[in-house]
Structure 1
Amino acid sequence: MAVSVAANGFRWLDILEQEFDKTFVDLDLLLGEIDPDQSEITDEGRGKLTVLSSSWAQLVHKTQTLSQTNAKMEAQLIDTKAEIIETKAEKVAMQQQIKDIMAQLHASQLECQILKNQEIEGADTIRKRLVCHFKKITKFLLCTLFAFKEDQLNRQRSEFKRDAVWEIKANELEKENVKLKNSIINLQSEVYGSRLAAKYLDKELAGRYRNVFEQFSQLIRTHYPQLSVVGENYPPPVYKSVLAQCLSILKMLFLVCIVLGQNPFTIAGLATPSVFQWALQNKIYSCLMLFFFSNSIESFLMSTGAFEIFVNDVPLWSKLQTGHLPSAQDFLQMLQTFQNKENTIGGGGPNIGGMSSSSTFNT
């Protein structure tokens, strides 16, 4: 897993480098469109671009070096973990084997005592230890109780080691799982904060659009009282609207299943994802997370950021094309220009009462 993260780091760096190159070329072309009389601005801008490109190249080089070092360290970390697990398993196997050898020694001492019909020091203690040990000893140990051959000891140690390896790996994975859960909780807290900030930003932007619409409407009523003003939401693309509706239905379905403790995957004959099992165990937290996450995606799908102005179905301004809102003076100038064109086409006359203005905006 660690090596894959390092590989993804190189891929991310390539993507960022491609984006930088594309943006650099766009800026260079944009500087080339500046009027020749203002060549000083072009020269200065291209000088800044040269410095920026040099800094970016050094940054990429240092990042590649760090990524390569990180990849090597991650590989070494994997090897070190494997060696630690191997060493721990060897230690457990040796300890278990020492216990077995001590039990065999005690049994030999008791046998000598019986043969010689004499007591040895600590005989009662040895008997008690043997009683407790023989309850736990396996059939294999009973068969090899008095066998001290090297090959038998090696096989015994290998068996102990094989069992210990899985137990140690399970313990290590459990510790890593706890760390990852804590990291996920911290990341989710940051994501929720970002989503709430984005949500409030969308509301603020929507309020700004509404204020601009009201301001423009008041300008029309003041300067062109004959015009009627109509405001409506700019429709998002059809596929985004369908995706938002499907997402809303899935959200409600999963919320109901989580609250009622039902598993739709079992009903459908599919394997239950671990995420859904966690959601069933943490209903309140998972419902809140699902609600905010799905709402943020729905808002993103339904939001267009548009502020389009039409007069008699003729577009006067498009924020989607220009990237910004018009000023009040620009808005009045656009209406005056449109009025002059209408009067020219219609044969003159100041009457513009037949026109209607529709300002379409989306929050």
Structure 2
Amino acid sequence: MPTCTPTPHHHHHHKQPPMVAHESVETPSQKPVVGGIGLGSTVKIDFCSSCSYRGNAVTMKKMLEMQFPGIDVVLANYPPSLPKRVVAKLVPVFQIGVMGIVLGGEQIFPILGLMTPPPWYYSLRANKFGTIASTWLLGNALQSFLQSSGAFEVYCNDELIFSKLREGRFPGEIELKDLVGRRLANSGISDMSS
């Protein structure tokens, strides 16, 4: 009797998988339709990496990849303008220069042809620690400002669809999904408009 009982149960389990197979057949039939939305399209998000915008960029990337399967979302740094980058490179030189003058001015000024250091040197030297600390902190703050672009620019198939520099704000997730959806619908890559 114990050997006969497991056989019917075992037999009933074989009848359920065909129903599960029918359910899973529906999912692949929906997937190609959804997968076609983003296929062959690229969204590029250029963001200010020194502004800590990477988290926002990664969140938007994941959302777009879920909404538009097959879409290629590329994240890249948006650098500041060339003049800002050049000045940012000069800030550490200035910082080291000030520190060098404060610590070794008596030896530096004669080399530069000044036998008597200028009056401002004595003011800086009177408060060595304050001068060096201020130069360091202000220099680092200035360098941070100069290295940031404040950008969060979104391109869909090389067309700018959102600019934080122009709008002065980040795009909302729903807003960005709609912008990308409209761009894909208008580009003819997708027949669906969501």
TM-score bracket for the superposition, by shorter chain length: 0.5 to 0.7
**Compared CA separation, residues 273 and 226, structure 1 to 2 (3 A):** farther
Q: CA RMSD in A?
A: 2.5
Residue 85 of structure 2: aligned partner: 241
Residue identity over aligned pairs, in percent, reads 25
- Give the whole-Å Cα distance in 1 for the aligned partners of 2:175 and 2:107: 58
1:75-126 CA deviation, whole Å, 9 max, x = no partner?
xxxxxxxxxxxxxxxxxxxxxxxxxxxxxxxxxxxxxxxxxxxxxxxxxxxx
Offset at residue 349 of structure 1 (A)? 5.4
- Give the whole-Å Cα distance in 1 for the aligned partners of 2:64 and 2:150: 23
**Compared CA separation, residues 295 and 261, structure 1 to 2 (3 A):** same
Partner letter of residue 252 of structure 1? I
State which of 75, 90, 103 in structure 2 corresponds to 1:231.
75
**Compared CA separation, residues 262 and 223, structure 1 to 2 (3 A):** farther
Offset at residue 227 of structure 1 (A)? 2.1
**Compared CA separation, residues 257 and 221, structure 1 to 2 (3 A):** same
**Compared CA separation, residues 276 and 334, structure 1 to 2 (3 A):** same
Residue 252 of structure 1: aligned partner: 96
Offset at residue 335 of structure 1 (A)? 0.7
Offset at residue 295 of structure 1 (A)? 1.4
Residue 138 of structure 2: aligned partner: 293
State which of 130, 149, 152 in structure 2 corresponds to 1:304.
149
Residue 320 of structure 1: aligned partner: 165
Offset at residue 218 of structure 1 (A)? 1.5
Residue 77 of structure 1: aligned partner: none
Query: CA contact under 8 A between 2:91 and 2:139: conserved in structure 1?
Result: yes
The count of residues paired between Structure 1 and Structure 2 equals: 142
Q: Secondary structure at the match of 2:179?
A: helix
Give matches, 1:144-159, under 5 Å: none
1:177-207 CA deviation, whole Å, 9 max, x = no partner?
xxxxxxxxxxxxxxxxxxxxxxxxxxxx934
Query: CA contact under 8 A between 2:105 and 2:117: conserved in structure 1?
Result: no
TM-score (norm 2): 0.63
- Give the whole-Å Cα distance in 2 for the aligned partners of 1:227 and 1:310: 13
Query: CA contact under 8 A between 2:80 and 2:147: conserved in structure 1?
Result: yes
- Where structure 1 has 5 or more consecutive residues not aligned to the other structure, the ranges are 1-204, 351-363
Offset at residue 263 of structure 1 (A)? 5.2
State which of 63, 69, 74 in structure 2 corresponds to 1:219.
63
Q: Secondary structure at the match of 1:232?
A: strand
State which of 128, 133, 136 in structure 2 corresponds to 1:283.
128
Offset at residue 299 of structure 1 (A)? 1.8
- Give the whole-Å Cα distance in 2 for the aligned partners of 1:312 and 1:252: 45
- Give the whole-Å Cα distance in 1 for the aligned partners of 2:177 and 2:106: 60
- Give the whole-Å Cα distance in 2 for the aligned partners of 1:269 and 1:336: 68
Partner letter of residue 332 of structure 1? K
**Compared CA separation, residues 307 and 224, structure 1 to 2 (3 A):** same
Query: CA contact under 8 A between 2:106 and 2:117: conserved in structure 1?
Result: no
**Compared CA separation, residues 298 and 263, structure 1 to 2 (3 A):** farther
Partner letter of residue 156 of structure 2? V
Q: Secondary structure at the match of 2:80?
A: coil
Greater length-normalized contact order (CA 8 Å, ≥ 6 residues apart): 2
Offset at residue 315 of structure 1 (A)? 0.9
Offset at residue 285 of structure 1 (A)? 1.9
Larger Rg over CA atoms: 1
Structure holding more helix per residue = 1
- Give the whole-Å Cα distance in 1 for the aligned partners of 2:142 and 2:107: 24
State which of 177, 180, 184 in structure 2 corresponds to 1:332.
177
- Where structure 2 has 5 or more consecutive residues not aligned to the other structure, the ranges are 1-49
Give matches, 1:67-106, under 5 Å: none
Structure holding more strand per residue = 2
- Give the whole-Å Cα distance in 2 for the aligned partners of 1:229 and 1:274: 58
**Compared CA separation, residues 206 and 243, structure 1 to 2 (3 A):** closer
**Compared CA separation, residues 315 and 273, structure 1 to 2 (3 A):** farther
- Give the whole-Å Cα distance in 2 for the aligned partners of 1:229 and 1:318: 16
Offset at residue 334 of structure 1 (A)? 0.6
